[in-house]
Chains A and B, each alone.
Chain A
Amino acid sequence: MTSLTEARPVRKILIVGGGTAGWITAGVLAARYPRRGDDGISVTLIESRQQPPIGVGEGTWPTLRATLKQIGVTETDFLRACDASFKQGSQFVKWADGGESDAYYHPFTLPVGYEERNLAAYWLENQRDQSFADSMCFQTAVCRQGLAPKQITTPEFTGLANYAYHLDAGKFGPFLRDHCIEKLGVAHVYDEIVRVESTETGDISHVVTKSGETLAADLCIDCSGFSSLLIGKHFGVPFLSKKDVLFIDKAWAVQIPYSTDEAAIKSVTVATAQSSGWVWDIGLTSRRGVGYVFSSGYVSDDGALEELKNYLSTRGDPLRDLSFRKIDINSGYRQEFWTRNCVAVGLSAGFIEPLEASAIVMIELSAKSIANLLPSCRGGMPQAARIFNDTFRYRWERIVDFLKLHYVLSRRNDSRFWIENRARESIPDSLRDCLEYWRDHCPWHEDFAHREEVFSAASYQYILYGMGFKTYPAPWLLNDRDRILAREKMNEAGQYTKALAASLPGNRDLLSKVRRYGLQKI
């Protein structure tokens, strides 16, 4: 590479693809670097009109609140435009043993005392009759009662309980698009890419569109979805399948209308285990999104559809006039995400079943990392790429581990799917080592390598103890001071639960009020 190339400033950013990934990335970059024109950077997004939105991934993480705030939209506009609702965590039904009362929560609010100490051991020591999440977190009661995480007087993007959103992905992209174009100076092109041109060093120099336009780029961001136009088709970066660990490879999805305008909206994603996978159930303000992600190795498409219909009828949902859509899922991710002057974000980088709503949070993390790492000159790009690739390979690996954890801990024996999910050879070494370690240590920060983990030790605690995993810490590692602290904190959580139950509105009530009056900024 000549030094002339290395000194070339990185100022033209071209984003390929206009789904959730494309517009979040455009929004994050354009908001972070607001200077345009001759002494700034340009952000251009090209999308073809033909790409139908995938329409899964309607659950998010609380990180989205900060991301939306950074991009500069109001929470009121977002909630209204995307039919969004408040999500306070997930509920896993029939995952542990499949029995009638088998259900537990993974709430977004951290366990009590988590900011200072690891108190999980003291719950284990004295389990009483309450589950881990119910003892250690006030939020499960809020979820169970169908309450919102905040009041109408609570300022936007803040909550009395930690929360994220359920959103209509088909409306989220267009909502961000309008903001990016009108407020952030993102250039937008509706066109199709017909040719990708390279420099002599192998970088992408520009793309040529169907209408004959040439779009030059110093950095390309591939948000083209499963078609992976740049990272896959152009650069040929191999895809690492994780099908041997996570068996899910297909889904049936359906939209369910509410019976009335006042029907309750659950404030959690409900994931109900089936014979060969699980059903997601997500309540928006406009409708519910329901789907069965399953493994074709264990059930036929027809058999899966029957199970999904059965799930719906058990809940009392009429089956008439529903249209079921089939989706293929290819679990895995790219061997690298940033190659030369191209970085992949979203489905082009990888996809894993939506069990813990990791898709959108990975887009946010990617966009943030690109913004932080963005080199001023081409010469800085190899190092940026190395850091990005190391970080995101690690993140994908942890997501795979964390999702696998849900299956490994199951005691279900009613189908081959559940039994074979516990087969030793299907469990990554990293997860096996952790599980071994957690036999006498409750998960804590040091167990994970990075400052910013996708899933913190708190999430591991909720899943492990929600699923009935037992940790037996050595008695000499426990002490009375923390034991007393734990008891106090659990009592406080109980009292806070009562106070909140009296003052929080129902999830639907608050969403209707937001629609009518909006939320204040302060």
Chain B
Amino acid sequence: MVNRVVLNNQIHRDVRIAAIRPTRENAEVNTVSVIPREFPRLLPHYPIFYTKNTETGRFEPSVLLGFQPQENLFFVDGRWDAAYVPLQIQRQPFSLVTRRAEDSEGKPPTLDVALDLSQTVQSQEGQRLFLEDGQPTKFLQGITSMLSALVAGAKETYAFTGRLAELGLIEPVQIDIEFVNGSETKLQGLYWIAAAALKTLPATQLAELRDREFLEWMYFQMASISQVSELVARKNRLLSGETATRP
């Protein structure tokens, strides 16, 4: 059960949080949404697709972590097995909550940093959130800037994917995979850049994508296709390992 509380420099002054590791609950997913500014750091590790947000139906980039609904091949023995962890995972158990919604004049909403106590391990050796005088620690400042990056990133994301969808540059992909043990899987609900449509895109629209940095993001995303076979290899290693240990 999520137990989210808004951070308060009085109440939480003495709280110390153990080194953050993704909990099983947060890590057992086969996709996680990412923001375009992460693409360069994601590229060496993960295949980046587009998926539809289940609440809004809007496209968002997300990395593929496994081939079954709750399979995360990067989460091994309670640890994240990759040099870069997506921000959406890194930020746990912190989140931003809305104190006041965006008003009709477009004034941005007021956000507070919240902590999910159900996923927090407190320890005397852990990181402090606040200094004696109530100011946030470097650690908490780092968390806050990560959360802000995600909020800003979400805005950029929807401007990006919204425009791509409008231009017909996103298309569904179906990926059929056969693993080393002969089992097969079909990946559905994933979307990809419509390469054919991109090739015939009028010059003015291409220039617009370039000027808005979208083209750069698209290239990163397309280049990440090679990580699909890396992910298959990861799964195959796991499968052959399992077979080997069987008597």
- Please tell me if the beta carbons of A522 and B54 are within 8 angstroms of each other in the complex: no
Q: Which residues of B contact A513 (CB under 8 A)?
A: 55-57
Q: Which residues of chain A are near B46, meaning CB under 8 Å?
A: none
0/1 string, B53-67, CB within 8 A of A gives 1: 111111100000000
How far, in whole Å, are A138 and B45 apart by their CA atoms in the complex?
Answer: 44
Contact partners of B165 in chain A: CB under 8 A: 520-522
CB distance from A183 to the nearest CB of B (A): 15
Docked pose: A215 CA to B52 CA in angstroms? 50
Q: Find chain A residues with CB under 8 A from B59 CB.
A: 520
Q: Compute how far the CA of A521 lies from the CA of B59 in the bound complex, rounded to whole angstroms.
A: 11
Asked, given contacts A520-B59, A522-B191, whether A152 binds B54 with beta carbons under 8 Å apart, the answer is yes
Interface size on A, residues (CB 8 A): 12
Is A476 close to B, CB under 8 A?
no
Report if B171 contacts A (CB, 8 A).
yes
Residue A184 interfacial (CB < 8 Å) = no
Question: How far apart are B151's CB and chain A's nearest CB, in angstroms?
Answer: 18
User: Closest chain B residue to A516 by CB distance?
Assistant: B56
A153 at the interface (CB under 8 A from B): yes
Q: How far is the CB of B211 from chain A (nearest CB, A)?
A: 24
Q: State whether the Cβ of B129 lies closer than 8 Å to any Cβ in chain A.
A: no
Q: Which residue of A has the minimal Cβ distance to B194?
A: A522
Least Cβ distance of A173 to chain B in Å?
27
A-contacting residues, B111-131, CB 8 Å: none
Within A483-522, the residues touching B (CB, 8 Å) are: 513, 516-522
CB-based A-B contact count at 8 angstroms: 32
Q: Within residues 164 to 223 of chain B, which ones have a CB less than 8 A from any CB in chain A?
A: 165, 168, 170-172, 191
Which residues of chain A (158-205) have a CB below 8 Å from chain B? none
- Measured CB to CB, the nearest residue on chain A to B170 is A522
When chains A and B are docked, how far (Å) is the Cα of A153 from the Cα of B59? 9
* Least CB separation from A503: chain B residue: B54
Nearest-neighbor residue (CB-CB) of B162 within chain A: A518
**Chain B neighbourhood of A151, CB < 8 A:** 54, 57
B interface, size bucket? 10 to 19
Interface residues of B in 16-64 (CB under 8 A from A): 52-59
Q: Which residues from A are CB-within-8-Å of B52?
A: 153, 520
B56's closest neighbor in chain A, by CB? Answer: A517
Bound state CA distance, A303 and B191, in angstroms? 59
Contacting residues of chain A (305-334) with chain B, CB-CB under 8 angstroms: none
For the complex, give the distance between the alpha carbons of A513 and B53 in Å: 12
How many angstroms from the CA of A518 to the CA of B161 in the assembled complex? 13
- Which single residue of chain A is at the shortest CB-CB distance from B51? A153
Are B171 and A522 touching (Cβ within 8 A)?
Answer: yes
Q: Is the CB of B56 within 8 A of A152?
A: yes
A326 to B55, CA, bound (A): 43
For B168, the closest partner residue in chain A by CB is A521
The answer for the CA separation of A521 and B166 in the assembled complex, in Å, is: 9
Task: Looking at the assembled complex, report how far the CB atom of B150 sits from the nearest CB atom of chain A, in whole angstroms.
Answer: 19
Evaluate contact between A152 and B171: CB separation under 8 angstroms: no
Whether A520 lies near B57 (C-beta < 8 A) is yes
Q: Is the CB of B57 within 8 A of A153?
A: yes
> Is A153's CB under 8 angstroms from B170's CB?
no
In the complex, what's the smallest C-beta–C-beta distance from A148 to chain B, in angstroms? 12
User: What distance in Å separates the Cβ of A363 from its nearest Cβ neighbour in chain B?
Assistant: 30
B87 to chain A, nearest CB (A): 23
A522: chain B residues at CB < 8 Å are 165, 170-172, 191
Chain B nearest CB from A27 CB (Å) reads 22
Complex CA gap A406/B54 in Å reads 41
Residues of chain A within 8 A (CB-CB) of B170 are 522
- Residues B128-142 near A (CB distance < 8 A): none
With both beta carbons as reference points, the residue of chain A lying nearest to B57 in the complex is identified as A152
Q: Is the CB of A519 within 8 A of B57?
A: yes
User: Which residues of chain A are near B56, meaning CB under 8 Å?
Assistant: 152, 513, 516-517
Chain A min CB distance to B50 (Å): 10
For residue A126, give the distance in angstroms from its CB to the closest CB of chain B.
37
A152 to B171, CA, bound (A): 17
CA A513 to CA B54, docked complex, whole Å: 11
Binary A-proximity of B85-113 (CB < 8 A = 1, otherwise 0): 00000000000000000000000000000
A48 shortest CB reach to chain B, Å:
37
Q: Which A residues are CB-close (under 8 A) to B58?
A: 517, 520
A137-152 CB mask vs B (1 if < 8 Å, else 0) is 0000000000000011
A517: nearest residue on chain B (CB-CB)?
Answer: B56
Contact of B55 among A152, A154, A519, A521 (CB under 8 A): A152
Min C-beta distance of A208 to chain B, whole Å: 44
Q: Which residues of A contact B191 (CB under 8 A)?
A: 522
Residues of chain A lying within 8 A (CB to CB) of residue B168: 521
Which residue on B lies nearest to A150, using beta carbons? B57
How far is A110 from B191 in the complex, measured between Cα atoms in Å?
A: 31
Pair B172/A153 contact, Cβ less than 8 Å: no
Q: What is the bound-complex CA distance between A82 and B85, given in angstroms?
A: 46
How long is the Cα–Cα vector from A516 to B57 in the complex, in angstroms?
A: 11
Residues of A within 8 A of B172 (CB): 522
- What distance in Å separates the Cβ of A176 from its nearest Cβ neighbour in chain B? 22
The residues of B that contact A520 with a CB separation of less than 8 Å are 52, 57-59, 165
> How near does chain B come to A157, taking the closest CB pair, in angstroms?
14
Cα distance, A520 to B59, chains bound together (Å): 9
Inter-chain CA distance A152–B58, complex, in Å, is 9
Report how far A153 CA is from B171 CA in the complex, Å.
14
Distance in Å: Cβ of B78 to nearest Cβ of chain A: 31
The one of A153, A516, A519, A521 in contact with B54, judged by C-beta atoms closer than 8 angstroms, is: A153
- Pairwise interchain contact A517-B57, C-beta atoms closer than 8 A: yes
Task: Please name all residues of chain B whose beta carbon is closer than 8 Å to the beta carbon of A154 when the two chains form the complex.
Answer: 57
Interface 1/0s, chain A 448-483, versus B by CB < 8 A? 000000000000000000000000000000000000
How far apart are B12's CB and chain A's nearest CB, in angstroms? 34
Report Cα–Cα, A154/B58, bound state, in Å. Answer: 11
Provide the residues of chain A in CB contact with B57, threshold 8 Å. Answer: 151-154, 513, 517-520
> CA separation between A516 and B53, bound complex, in Å?
14
Q: Taking A522-B165, A522-B172 as given, write out 15 further A-B residue pairs in contact, using a Cβ cutoff of 8 Å, ordered by the A residue number.
A: A151-B54, A152-B54, A152-B57, A153-B54, A513-B55, A513-B57, A517-B57, A517-B58, A519-B57, A520-B57, A520-B58, A520-B59, A520-B165, A522-B170, A522-B171
A-B residue pairs in contact (CB < 8 Å), sample of 23: A151-B57, A152-B54, A152-B55, A152-B56, A152-B57, A153-B52, A153-B54, A153-B57, A154-B57, A513-B55, A517-B56, A517-B58, A518-B57, A519-B57, A520-B52, A520-B57, A520-B58, A520-B59, A520-B165, A521-B165, A522-B165, A522-B172, A522-B191
Shortest beta-carbon contacts, A-B, top 3: A152-B57, A153-B52, A517-B56
